[in-house]
Structure 1
Amino acid sequence: MMLQRTNRLRAVALGAIAVSGALVLTACGSDDNSGDSGSDSTTKAASKISCDGDGNLLASGSSAQKNAMDVWTQTYQSACSGTQLNYKPTGSGAGITEFLQGKTAFAGSDSALKPDEMEESKKVCTNSQAVDLPMVGGPIAVTYNLKGVDDLVLDAETLAKIFDSKITKWNDPAIKKLNPDAELPSTAIQAFHRSDESGTTDNFTKYLNHAAPDAWKYEPAKKWDGKGGQGADGSSGIATNVKQNDGAIGYAELSYATGNDLNTVKLDTGASEPVEATTDNASKAIADAKVVGTGKDLSLELNYKTKAEGAYPMVLVTYEIVCEKGNKKETLDATKSFLKYTASDAGQKALADKDYAPIPDEIIGKVRSTIDSLS
């Protein structure tokens, strides 16, 4: 049962750090949805970073946090030119696999490690195991492209049926009931899901499974199990396909919706008004999470059924996954240095205009303490 928390996320500063010039990241693909907001803020933030270690720091995983990683990497590299950070947004499943194979210093994942993955981590974390460090949060936006419809409300049950190919036309009675004033066409629905193993998929299906259990019978997973639909690679692939196809619908981290100028669905959660996918509304849901990890593991449990006013429950929290002990000596210092920055006030506030929500104070304080103790 979820425990109510009285703490709320701290106000997010309006100033944000831009990605300008050439990023040191390789394999960035075509996901860049960022805009320039000036290099002065980057310089100021970089001046506060304590640089430790040097050489190449490899990491991979969540594409939902790719835009956050772009900002963090640009700023960190401005301060710590001796470290070459390469984050590949290959998807949470691929990132965890590479980490468990000992190929990367840390992994990014939109879902905490499962018990079998945590057990497997003991093979790469000498005399220890991995820990999940919640680093950034935000809403999973349901994006759509439907000519003539700029305002759309859906609930969990209707979404489940759409993504399981049980509702196939936009003028279906269930959609009409939720949108009585909209002129819904008979256009066929093209539902796009992730073709790669994805923490975003895991969290999206957790929402469907918890909020509409009678309509979504599948167990939440990184791999898509719903019937029908079309697969797309990465969050950028979802956004691109939705943008290019009238009648399309998909799910992705919010920055991919705003960065591609896509409409987003408002959720009917049972509250008095439908809830929009915004960082503030996601914050109200994330602040209701509780830590369920043991020891220094900080995996969270989210409340997908909340009916609190203004709370957007379709959220994800991205974790950085790293060994608690037994990290490789050649990358330990740089890993700690970089993660200290991402968990710092400056690192959290840097994402204000990228549609991410910072982790609540009580939790991010524990993250910082765990990073300090990594060995």
Structure 2
Amino acid sequence: MKTATTNFKRFGSIAAIAIAGTMLFSACASNEGGAPADSESTLSGTLDGAGASSQDSAQQAWVAAFQIENPDVTINYEPSGSGAGREAFIAGGVSFAGTDSALSDEEIAGEFGSCVADTGYVQVPAYISPIAVIFNVEGVEELNVDATVLAGIFKGTITTWDDAAIVALNEGVTLPSAPITAVHRSDDSGTTKNFSDYLGKVAPDVWDAEATDTFPYPDAKGEAAQGTSGVVSAVTDGTNTIGYADASKAGDLGVAKLKVGDEFVSYSPEAAAAVVDGSPAVEGRDATDLAIKLDRNTTDPTHYPLVLVSYIIACQEYTDAEVGPLVHDYVAYLTSEAGQAEAASSAGAAPLSSELSAKVATAIESIK
């Protein structure tokens, strides 16, 4: 039997990108008329997933390309947020989840609704991306920040754009004497957890909250918005605004440079990948759980420490035996060289390193 994985090796990422670029697909696109005439895939069925909105652009591209090669498969991905995705997977409402926040020890200790009892789970990195500090400030085209200033802005202790702490980092820039509107996520968000984790590790004297999916300072002045798209819209449509979002969604907004060591650094896929490669695995996890403990305190200016690693969570064995092959081949594709090239092209993601890819491939082989 030829699976979707072998089909993608045959066609390669260039063909998949070229075909996908000629057709319009949604995350739950119909496959009618979209398959190559010589498709040899024997996969069929519907696969439902949900979770990280940071993955949305990549998921749309992955779904489109995968469905072209597998015309009898329909994949739905709802970018409902990392917390909602994990909750849906745990409850058995979806077959896989995307999350920017790795499963907690408490979540792992429980049961997963779609998995056969007493079998394991798989958690693998699939999408590596910088978190961009986006801004829309009148008259300001470039902005430098450090962790201490960011922490003060989002905690609400720095409230105007001409605050001395911001001015000191932006010599020669005229900053308005205007209130800051800091936009954070209103939903449970792995992007928030990564943002909070960075601030807590690099500016702990200011950011004294635990890193959680929920924004930790709800009483701070600012604005809350649903999902990545909500934050981007609020920053875009507001006045003198700042927010944080997956870099793939920054669009035409201003993006701040982040102080790393003695330099101010722009985000890039390469700088995000460098941090991941230099970070250790979370201790005490099974071989199929490849959660990473990111090194936020790097002073290497070739690294961009405000980065998220977004995971795919799946069962090792599904209660519905027909789902396992679909999940296996879809996750194998999106973490493959072809799938990672698709994410880089469509969302500016940083591809998995060869060493990490090998570990991911081994973990995925346990899915059935």
TM-score by length of 2: 0.88
Which of 244, 262, 277 is matched with 2:267 structurally?
277
Q: Give every structure 1 segment of 4 or more consecutive aligned residues whose post-TM-superposition deviation is greater than 3 Å.
A: 13-16, 18-22, 49-53, 121-124
- Structure 2 distance, partners of 1:84, 1:14, is 22
Offset at 1:124? 4.3
Offset at 1:119? 1.3
> Partner residue of 1:250?
243
> Partner residue of 1:8?
none
Does the 8 Å CA contact 1:266/1:274 hold for their aligned counterparts? yes
- Structure 2 distance, partners of 1:124, 1:338, is 17
Q: 1:325 to 1:14 in 2, by over 3 A?
A: closer
Q: Secondary structure at the match of 2:224?
A: strand
> Partner residue of 1:310?
302
- Structure 2 distance, partners of 1:77, 1:122, is 27
User: Is 1:167 aligned to 2:158, yes or no?
Assistant: yes
Bigger shift: 357-366 or 195-204? 357-366
Number of aligned residue pairs: 344
Q: 1:313 to 1:207 in 2, by over 3 A?
A: same
Does the 8 Å CA contact 2:128/2:308 hold for their aligned counterparts? yes
Q: Secondary structure at the match of 1:243?
A: helix
CA RMSD, Structure 1 to Structure 2 (Å):
2.2
Q: 1:229 to 1:357 in 2, by over 3 A?
A: same
Q: 1:153 to 1:130 in 2, by over 3 A?
A: same
Offset at 1:177? 0.5
Give unmatched runs, 5+ long, in structure 1. 1-12, 28-41
Which of 282, 290, 311 is matched with 1:298 structurally?
290
Offset at 1:221? 0.3
> Partner residue of 2:111?
121
Which of 117, 129, 134 is matched with 2:125 structurally?
134
> Partner residue of 2:75?
85
Give unmatched runs, 5+ long, in structure 2. 1-12
Q: 1:95 to 1:50 in 2, by over 3 A?
A: farther
Q: Secondary structure at the match of 1:95?
A: helix
> Partner residue of 1:216?
207
Q: Deviations along 1:294-341, whole A, 9 cap, x unmatched? A: 322111111001001221100000100011234531211111111111
Q: Matched residues, percent identical?
A: 36
> Partner residue of 1:319?
311
Does the 8 Å CA contact 2:124/2:360 hold for their aligned counterparts? yes
- Structure 1 distance, partners of 2:22, 2:227, is 23
Does the 8 Å CA contact 2:181/2:241 hold for their aligned counterparts? yes
Q: Which has the higher contact order (CA 8 A, sep 6+)?
A: 1
- Structure 1 distance, partners of 2:216, 2:309, is 22
TM-score by length of 1: 0.87
> Partner residue of 2:350?
357
Does the 8 Å CA contact 2:318/2:324 hold for their aligned counterparts? no
Q: Deviations along 1:175-234, whole A, 9 cap, x unmatched? A: 000011110111210000000100000100000011111110110000111223211011
Q: Deviations along 1:264-295, whole A, 9 cap, x unmatched? A: 11011223x21101212212212112222332
User: Is 1:189 aligned to 2:191, yes or no?
Assistant: no
Q: 1:175 to 1:187 in 2, by over 3 A?
A: same
- Structure 1 distance, partners of 2:40, 2:52, is 25
